[in-house]
C-alpha cells in the first residue's frame, strides 16, 4: 500500500519539478514568464498527437519538448525583442495555450493513449522497495533527476551559469562587461519552454495517458510558486515538488477513504497549500530579497 502511494506521489511530482526547473533557469536570467501553464498544455497535446501519429511515445516526448520551446519563442520575441510587458505577455501566453490546445486536441478526446513504459535499471531495480520506487521508472522521471543535478552544476559551478546569474542580478553591468544579455535570455526562455513542454508530455503520456482538455489543472501556476518556495535553487525545487505532489495525491486518497471532509475542499487543498507557503515565505522578506534575481521582470534595451 505504501509503495503504491509513493509511486503515485513520484508520478504527480515529476511534472511540477521539471516545469519549475525550467522556470527557475528563465528567472535566473532575469525574465519572468507566467506562461508556464500555456506551454505545459501545448506540450501535453502535441506529445499526445505525435504519439498517436507515430505510435512511439518517445517521439511524443521529443515533440512535446519542441512544442514548449517553440511556443516560448513567441513570449521571447514579444518581451525581449519588442520589449512588451512580461507579466501581461505571460498571462496572454497561458490563455492562448489553453485555447489553442483545446482546438488541436478536439479530435483526440476519448482516444486511448500509449503510455510511456518504465525502464528497469539492471540489478538496482531488484532492490526491495527502493528498487521499484527509484530504479523502475519512466524516462521522464530519470530526466527530472538529471535536470536537478545538471542545472545545479550549471548555475553554481560553470562560467556560463555565472554569466546568466550576473545578467539576472544586474543586466546593465553584465552588458557593460560584454555579455550578450538578449541572446542569453532567449536561450533561457527556450530552455524554460522546453522543460514546460516535457512536463506537459509527462501528463499526457505517463500521469494519465490520454488527452483531456485543460489537463494541466493549474500545475503551471504551482510550478511558478515552487520557484519562489525554493528560493531559486534546484535542490529545493526537487524537495518542494515532492511536497506538493504528496499533497495532491494525499487529497485523492482522502476522498477515496471517504473521510468526512467536503470533496471540494480536498480538491482545492494543493492550491490552498500553495497560497499558505507563499504567505509564509513573504514573512521572511530579507531572505527572499537576497535570493531574488534583482533584474527579474525588468526589460532590457541595449541602446539605452
Whole-model pTM over 0.85? yes
Are residues 194 and 200 in contact, defined by beta-carbon separation less than 8 angstroms? no
The pLDDT score that the predictor gives to residue 284 is 67
The pLDDT score that the predictor gives to residue 2 is 78
Instruction: Give pLDDT tens digits along the chain (304 positions).
Output: 778 888 999 999 999 999 999 999 999 999 999 999 999 999 999 999 999 999 999 999 999 999 999 999 999 999 999 999 999 999 999 999 999 999 999 999 989 999 999 999 988 888 888 888 899 999 999 999 999 999 999 999 999 999 999 999 999 999 999 999 999 999 999 999 999 999 999 999 999 999 999 999 899 999 998 998 888 999 999 998 998 888 888 777 666 666 666 766 666 777 777 777 777 766 666 666 677 899 999 999 886 5
The pLDDT score that the predictor gives to residue 146 is 97
Which residue ranges make up each domain of the chain? 2-114+136-291
The pLDDT score that the predictor gives to residue 148 is 97
**C-alpha 292, offset from chain centre:** 19
End-to-end CA distance of the chain, in Å?
A: 61
The pLDDT score that the predictor gives to residue 29 is 96
The pLDDT score that the predictor gives to residue 260 is 63
Instruction: Just give the CATH number of 2-114+136-291.
Output: 1.10.3470
Amino acid at each position: 500500500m505504501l509503495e503504491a502511494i509513493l509511486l503515485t506521489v513520484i508520478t504527480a511530482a515529476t511534472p511540477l519539478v521539471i516545469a519549475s526547473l525550467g522556470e527557475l533557469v528563465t528567472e535566473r536570467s532575469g525574465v519572468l514568464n507566467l506562461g508556464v501553464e500555456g506551454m505545459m498544455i501545448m506540450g501535453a497535446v502535441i506529445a499526445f498527437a505525435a504519439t498517436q501519429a507515430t505510435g512511439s511515445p518517445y517521439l511524443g516526448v521529443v515533440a512535446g519538448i519542441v512544442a514548449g520551446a517553440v511556443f516560448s519563442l513567441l513570449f521571447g520575441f514579444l518581451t525581449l525583442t519588442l520589449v512588451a510587458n512580461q507579466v501581461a505577455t505571460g498571462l496572454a501566453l497561458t490563455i492562448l495555450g489553453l485555447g489553442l490546445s483545446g482546438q488541436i486536441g478536439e479530435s483526440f478526446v476519448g482516444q486511448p493513449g500509449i503510455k510511456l513504459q518504465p525502464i528497469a535499471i539492471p540489478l538496482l531495480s531488484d532492490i526491495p522497495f527502493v528498487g521499484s520506487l527509484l530504479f523502475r521508472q519512466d524516462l521522464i522521471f530519470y530526466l527530472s533527476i538529471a535536470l536537478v543535478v545538471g542545472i545545479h552544476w550549471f548555475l553554481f559551478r560553470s562560467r556560463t551559469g555565472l554569466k546568466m546569474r550576473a545578467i539576472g542580478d544586474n543586466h546593465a553591468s553584465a552588458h557593460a562587461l560584454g555579455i550578450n544579455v538578449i541572446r542569453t535570455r532567449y536561450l533561457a526562455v527556450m530552455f524554460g519552454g522546453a522543460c514546460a513542454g516535457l512536463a506537459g508530455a509527462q501528463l499526457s503520456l505517463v500521469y494519465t495517458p490520454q488527452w483531456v482538455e485543460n489537463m494541466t489543472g493549474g500545475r503551471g501556476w504551482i510550478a511558478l510558486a515552487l520557484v519562489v518556495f525554493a528560493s531559486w535553487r534546484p535542490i529545493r525545487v526537487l524537495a518542494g515538488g515532492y511536497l506538493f505532489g504528496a499533497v495532491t495525491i494525499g487529497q485523492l486518497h482522502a476522498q477515496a477513504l471517504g473521510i468526512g471532509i467536503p470533496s471540494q475542499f480536498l480538491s482545492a487543498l494543493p492550491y490552498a497549500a500553495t497560497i499558505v507557503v507563499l504567505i509564509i515565505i513573504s514573512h521572511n522578506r530579507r531572505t527572499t530579497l537576497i535570493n531574488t534575481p534583482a533584474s527579474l521582470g525588468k526589460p532590457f534595451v541595449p541602446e539605452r
